[in-house]
Amino acid sequence: MRQLRAWLLRFKGLFLKNARERELADELESHLQMHIDDNVRAGMSPAEARRVATMKLGGVDQTKEAYRDRATIPFIESVVQDLRFTLRQLRKNPAFTVTATAMVALGIGASVAIFAFVDAALIKPLPYQNPSRLLFVTETTPEIPRANFSYPDYLDWKKLNRVFDSLDIYTQRGYVVGTSAGTEIVYGARVSDGFFRTLGVSPFLGRDFYPGEDLPEASRTVILSYAAWQKRFGGKKEIIGQPLILNEIPHTIIGVLPENFHFAPVEDGEFWTTIHAAGDCDLRRSCHYLSGVARLKDGVSVEAALADVTRIAKDLEAQYPDSNRNQGATVAPLSEVIVGDVKPILLLLLGGVALLLLIACINVASLLLVRSETRRRELAVRRALGATRMRMIRQFVIEALVIVMVGSTAGLIGSHWAMQILKGLIPTDMIAGMPYLNELGLNSRILMFAGGLAALATALFSITPAFRLSNLDVREGMAEGSKGSGNKVWTRIGSKLVVLELTTAMVLLVGAGLLGKSFYRLLQVSAGFETKNLITMRVRAPVSAYGEDPQALALQRKVMDEVKSVPGVTSVALASTLPLSFNGNTDWIRFVGRAYNGEHNEVNVRGVSSDYFATLQANLLRGRTFADSEDISKPKVVVINQTLAKKYFPGEDPIGQRFGDLDLNAKSIKEIIGVVDDIREGPLDSEIWPAYYYPINQHPDFVYSVVVRTSQAEQSLIPTVADAIRRIDSRINISSQTTMTKRVNDAPTVYLRRSSTWLVGGFATMALLLGVVGLYGVIAYSVSQRTREIGVRVALGAQRSSVYRLILKEAGMLALAGIMIGTGCAILAASLMRKLLFSTPPWDVTTLICVAAVLGASALLASFLPARRAASVDPISALRAE
Amino acid sequence: MSKSEIWQGTLALMTLKTLDTLGPLHGYGIARRIEQTSGDRLSLNYGTLYPALLKLEQEGWIASEWGVSENNRKAKYYKLTRAGRKQLEREAKEWNQTTAIVARFFEPVEDQS
């Protein structure tokens, strides 16, 4: 207690300097006076009396010094002195100060911004109870590594497994809800009753689904997401128990989910209902549309779980050879499924930004080195005046601290903006699938990360000049104009640092180059149709009015007629699923007149209108396309893609051939009437699957996409087209209004590559710039140190060109070393990001050569300036200068 | 004990005792008094007294205020606080115990019967 009080008073003493000093001076003065008085009384002369008194006191200044040490905290006081000195020094050298802090700010800011994304996606735990015990569980097929469950299969797995505490399922779905403006499609999911219990999430308001509430006979209920509750119901608590019409069916609202809940596989899920398995698909073992989430039993490993579900799949395959042939099982940590796509990109960006930070730090360190070189005299003087080694090192540490603190603070502020900008660049469709980014921002983990970086940088920046101290010779340092051996030391370390910088720049440039090339290659991939001037939108008509075939068919024709009459529209088509969406929505087919041994010939199935291929400008290779008149009353016909033709009819003419379902039911038999060049149904970087296209008129539907070819800029026509469709029936819902070009550009495969190309490209550009500046610094310094030598050479008759050669050779060696080492490292680094490359090998020679050329040219340019200065040295003044 | 070597703790104790005996006193007076009491066997470097006084004041054992000396000189007077008096009692007791213990080691050896 007393000690604490004393420390506090001493701390306070740091700030009351003047008053205290004055008081002490007064006190000592009165002390001396009293002593002198006594001495005089004892018979001394006044001068003698003062001398004795002062001596007895032990010196006024020494007393003051000892008193000061006790009145304040000497360590802090000297730190404050050092700090003042540092600030003065930094203010005197603004170019250095600004450059150094800006580099620290850049490095730390960029690192923190990228780390924040990594944190949000990969580090922060998912908002479920004990998320590491949650698994994503589904069936697999040879073509689809993560296929879906069918409902009967799910029920069997749930019953037969021995490894899960619980296994539940979900499937995303859209719900049509009435709004004041008409209808809207809102996303949500159908889940089994225990879904939220498996995740370990309890509603924030109301209740969870009861066990059994997902059965067909249970009444229909819905749980709202927090966002839906706020947005659609104004956050009113009385909403529990109220009715809500979803897809024209009344539901009762029973709960609201917590605010922080998210489940990425169901993008933006607002309404959560139960499965209510009743439809044809729900009951069929071959209709796969569900995904599973399971909680592992305590002590069970992921491998054991996989073995167990594989056993179940095998048993089911034996039991149901028709439907379950080749249906395997797969499990994966849930977090991997949620963030799997962005993980390699984020790690790549983190790696890139780490390299950038490294370069920035090296640059600052070499700036500090140069500075310590020019401060040799100052250091030597301080040393000669008795500064201890520790005190001088402390000075460097304080300097480093000031630079790093200012830099990191600026960097942190900048990173906050950078995060928002980066997040804003993600297309809205994609951000819906990344709900974990909602809470992106500075949190304690990120601040700790920034603090760690700052500490490392401070250590680096204090060690660099302190190292210089070790070979500081006081006498030599103080000698005016002497160029001691120290500068050679610096040139040696400096050149190593520059090689390191150039290597890093090379790695980043190659990375950016390879990504850019992959991106370019990806865009070169033919979609199989003309993507320009195409509008697409999704139409959903009310099932009550258009659920029956005749009405649906009539509406399909009406929609096409109305859209065709819009000025600027050249042709219109309908499709059950748009191209460039996904491989899936498949059928298992069996060919008529061929041996069959139960294999699953899995092919994509798309229902399209008669003008579809013409509208897409796809290339019909053989046969014919459909006529509009080919509807339910006509024999079933299909157009197949080239991949199907090649795979199943090698060297044969497929036209006229027929296939059907696995049992060859008479109703399912279809005749092939045409072959179309492959249209890419999945993403650009995916494989092309066999596919067949059937006339949508033979299976009229009330939900489909409309594809519109325009003769003018398509974007501006979107609202007119949508209005034309709405005029037919105001209850028709239109969603996903966009253009094909936008769909291509915003597709995750394209977007992720484009964004990583730009970001890594940005890092690489900065790295190149910093590396080249670093090289310039070393060469320029070297030239300044060698002015005298060059002067002598010129005086002895050296040609200007040989001076150029001398300097350029020095720079060239450094650049060459950087490029050589960099090439090796770059190939290694590129192998690590192979997943992100597309038809580009990590050792792509053109990229390596181009990058080496760019780096070499930049290095040449950077060394040309100092070389010219060296060549123009005037021998007389160079010799006279020293 | 070498004349100039007085350790801090002892100086503090002597200061407190001096103030206890004489009441409020200035630094010079305290220094002189300590030397007198020691029968001039102790020679203080007067300067060392001031940091010691400051420390005692920071710890709250003594308080200071400006006053006028017997010779009409302005001087800073130190006086014992109540906490200081208690502290003095405690320290005096400890001191007595310590010295008593140490003294026993130097007592003539009793008869070993």
Nearest CA of chain A to the CA of B74: how many Å? 6
Check if A598 contacts B (Cβ < 8 Å): no
A chain contacts of residue B74, beta-carbon cutoff 8 Å: 26, 30
Residue A835 has a CB neighbour count (10 Å cut-off) of 10
Contact A10 B47 (CB under 8 A): no
Mutation target to probe the B interface, by most B beta carbons within 10 A, among A11, A21, A57 is A57
pLDDT at A268: 79
Question: In the structure, what pLDDT confidence band is assigned to residue B113 with cuts at 50, 70 and 90?
Answer: very low
Pairwise CB contact (< 8 Å): A57 & B46: yes
From the list B47, B58, B75, the residue facing A10 with the nearest CB is B58
B4 confidence band (pLDDT: 50, 70, 90): very low
Asked if the Cβ–Cβ distance from B51 to A69 is below 8 Å, we say yes
The candidate with the shortest Cα–Cα distance to A546, out of A728, A273, A758, A804, is A728
> Which residues does chain B have within 8 Å of residue A57's beta carbon, measured at their own beta carbons?
45-47
CA distance A48 to chain B (A): 17
Partner-chain residue, chosen from A2, A37, A62, that has the shortest CB–CB distance to B71: A37
Give the closest residue to A822 by CA, choosing from A513, A613, A554, A516.
A513
Q: Which residue of A has its CA nearest to B44?
A: A56
Task: Identify the closest residue of chain B to A8 by CA–CA distance.
Answer: B58
For chain A, residues with pLDDT lower than 50 are 482, 484-485
Enter the pTM of the model: 0.76
Give the distance from residue B84's alpha carbon to the nearest chain A alpha carbon, in angstroms. 11
Looking at per-residue pLDDT, the higher value among B79 and A431 belongs to: B79
> Does the distance separating the beta carbons of B69 and A69 come in below 8 Å?
no
Rounded percentage of chain B residues whose pLDDT exceeds 90: 19
Yes or no, beta carbons of B55 and A31 under 8 Å apart:
no
Tell me the two tokens of residue A14. 């740091």
Q: Inspect the interface and report whether the beta carbons of B50 and A10 lie closer than 8 Å.
A: no
| Distance (Å) from the alpha carbon of B96 to chain A's nearest alpha carbon | 23
Instruction: Look up tokens 């090998």; give the residue.
Output: A841
In A656-732, where do the E strands start and end? 658-660, 670-676, 691-695, 703-710
Yes or no, beta carbons of A34 and B73 under 8 Å apart? yes
Instruction: Measure CB to CB from residue B73 to each of A28, A30, A71 and give the nearest one.
Output: A30
Per the listing, tokens 């996904």 go with: A582
Question: How far A353 CA sits from the closest chain B CA (Å)?
Answer: 52
Contacts with A, B 53-112, CB within 8 Å: 54-55, 58-60, 69, 71, 73-76
Give first-to-last CA distance, chain A, whole Å.
64
Asked if A625 and A613 count as a contact pair (C-beta separation under 8 A), the reply is: yes
Tokens of residue A677, six digits? 């060049």
Tell me whether residues A30 and B28 touch, CB distance under 8 A.
yes
CA gap A248, A252 in Å, rounded: 13
Are the Cβ atoms of B75 and A27 closer than 8 angstroms?
yes
d(CA A369, nearest CA chain B) in Å: 43
Per-residue b or e along A494-506, where b marks 16 or more CB atoms closer than 10 Å to that residue's CB: bbebbbbbbbbbb
d(CA A723, CA A711): 19
CB of B27 within 8 Å of a chain A CB? The answer is: yes
**Which residues lie across from A170 on neighbouring strands?**
A191, A291
A733-739 and A670-676 as β-strands: parallel, antiparallel, unpaired? unpaired
Nearest Cβ partner of B58 from A9, A34, A57?
Answer: A9
| Total CB pairs under 8 A between chain A and B | 72
> What pLDDT shows up at residue A357?
92
Residue type (1 letter), A9: L
pLDDT of residue A690: 95
Q: What H or E segment, with its residue span, contains residue A742?
A: helix A740-746
Between chains, do B50 and A24 touch, taking CB under 8 Å as contact?
yes
Q: Give contacts of A59 with chain B, Cβ < 8 Å.
A: 47
A389 Rama sector, left if φ>0, alpha if ψ -120 to 50, beta otherwise: alpha
Question: Distance between CA atoms of A676 and A625, rounded to whole angstroms?
Answer: 9
**10 Å Cβ neighbour count for B12?**
20
- Please tell me the distance in Å from B100's CA to the nearest CA on chain A: 28
Q: How far is residue A863's CA from residue A855's CA, in Å, rounded to a whole number?
A: 12
d(CA A396, CA A459): 10
> What is the distance in angstroms between the Cα of A391 and the nearest Cα belonging to chain B?
25
Q: Do A37 and B27 make contact, defined as CB atoms within 8 angstroms?
A: no
- Taking CB atoms and an 8 Å limit, are B47 and A58 in contact across chains? yes
Answer for the pair A479, A462: CB distance below 8 angstroms, yes or no. no
Longest dimension (CA), chain A: 141
Instruction: Name residue B32's amino acid.
Output: R
B73: chain A residues, CB-CB within 8 Å: 30, 33-34, 37
pLDDT band at B2 (very low <50, low <70, confident <90, very high): very low
Any B CB within 8 A of A12 CB: no
Question: Residue B3: is its pLDDT beyond 70?
Answer: no
Q: Which residues in chain B have their CB less than 8 angstroms from residue A27's CB?
A: 27, 50, 75-76
pLDDT at residue B110 in the model = 59
* CB-closest option in A6, A31, A63 to B28: A31
Does A30 sit within 8 Å of B48, measured CB to CB?
A: no
Chain B residue with the nearest C-alpha to that of A24: B50
How far is residue A105's CA from residue A363's CA, in Å, rounded to a whole number? 13
* Closest in B28, B45, B50 to A67, CB measured: B50
Residue that wins the pLDDT comparison between B4 and A62: A62
Partner-chain residue, chosen from A10, A31, A62, that has the shortest CB–CB distance to B27: A31
Return d(Cα A750, Cα A836) in angstroms, integer.
Answer: 11
Contacts of B51 in chain A (CB under 8 A): 66-67, 69-70
Whose tokens are 């990229």? That residue is A847
Interchain CB distance below 8 Å, A5 and B60: yes
- Are the Cβ atoms of B76 and A30 closer than 8 angstroms? yes
Q: What is the pLDDT of residue A471?
A: 60
- In single-letter form, the type of residue at position A479 comes to A
CB contact under 8 A, A34 and B26: yes
For residue B46, the chain A residues in CB contact (below 8 A) are 31, 35, 56-58
Best residue of B34, B42, B45 to probe chain A, by most A CBs closer than 10 Å:
B45
Chain B contact for A57 (CB, 8 A cutoff): yes
Contact criterion met (CB < 8 Å) for B55 and A6: yes
